[in-house]
Chain A
């Protein structure tokens, strides 16, 4: 199952806290039309054209992006500097 949520925790030096989450389903839904178009274009290039190898390669990379989303789950990035503490988690859900 793909990662579904990016959670961010930012703690400023003055004690101010910003917690946010980005449901990745929004990104998936936004990307969906582009995937459908890319898939059609990719198939068109495969069937009707032996040229445009570069375009085919870039389309292939774009079509492989879900693999990145799928493998992103459990990624943790914690950075602390003199201004703020930043914590970013990629999770399957809220728990």
Chain B
């Protein structure tokens, strides 16, 4: 918990502010926190696979992909233009693979929300063979 939030809760417990004021102050603190992590600042999606095994001192199977955000957005937007029949086939194929995804959900508003959420994405998988990192910066 941030210092600011603690201070607000202390003020509330001391009776210096009421519940409504505390709620307003907490909302403001949350907004400030969100701004400080620079929402909308991420520019690239990084996919990094670092193998753990080395052959002759060199890591084999290393992958580094840096994808610009506008490319992801353009991809989503173009995917939204796929005709209904083709979308149904893709949806069925994805469902058969266990992914319950509907292409018709790719509306401009959803794409925007998805991009906003993607900016905070950070996935790290550490297994016996490699370290996989997916993040945005």
Contacts and interface: CB of A to CB of B under 8 A. Distances in A.
Interface residues of A, number: 23
A28 to B, nearest CB: 16
Nearest to B63: A79
The majority secondary structure among interface residues of chain B is mixed
B103 interface: no
A78 B65 CA distance: 6
Tier of interface size on chain B? 20 to 34
Nearest to B46: A76
B78 interface: yes
Interface string A58-86: 10110011011011111111111110000
Contact of A75 (B66, B78, B81): B66
B71 interface: yes
B57 interface: no
A54 B85 contact: yes
B64 A76 contact: yes
Interface of B: 44, 55, 59-68, 70-71, 73-75, 77-78, 81-83, 85-86
